[in-house]
Amino acid sequence: MWQQLAEKIIKGDVKALARGMSLIENETKGYEELMQLLPGGHKAKMIGVTGPPGAGKSTLVDALIGILIKNKNKVAVICVDPSSPFSHGALLGDRIRMSQWHNNENVFIRSLATRGNLGGLNPKIIEITELIKASSFDYIIIETVGVGQSEIEIAGLADITIVVLVPESGDEIQTMKAGLMEIADIFAVNKCDRPGADLFVRNLHQLLMPNKNRQPREVPVVKTVALYGEGIDELYITILNALEHAPSSEKKLSLLTQRAYLLIQKKRMKDVNKDKLSEIIKNEMEKADFNIYRLINKW
170-208 per-position pLDDT tens digit: 665 655 555 556 678 899 999 999 998 999 999 888 888
Check residue 173 and give its pLDDT.
62
Say whether both 120 and 29 belong to one domain.
no
pTM: 0.78
What is the C-alpha separation between 83 and 100, in angstroms, rounded?
Answer: 24
What is the span of the domain harbouring residue 19? 1-39
Residues of the chain with pLDDT under 50: 83-91, 93-94, 115-120, 147-150
What is the C-alpha separation between 115 and 27, in angstroms, rounded?
Answer: 13
Say whether both 116 and 56 belong to one domain.
yes
Give buried/exposed letters for 215-240 (b at 16+ CB in 10 A, else e): eeeebbbbbbbbeeebbbeebbebbe
Say whether both 89 and 214 belong to one domain.
yes
Percent composition of the chain: helix, strand, coil (DSSP 3-state, to 5): 45, 15, 40
Check residue 1 and give its pLDDT.
83
Q: Which residues contact 265 (CB under 8 A, 6 or more apart)?
A: none
Say whether both 156 and 228 belong to one domain.
yes
- Bridge partners of 230, per DSSP, are 225
Total residues belonging to the chain: 299
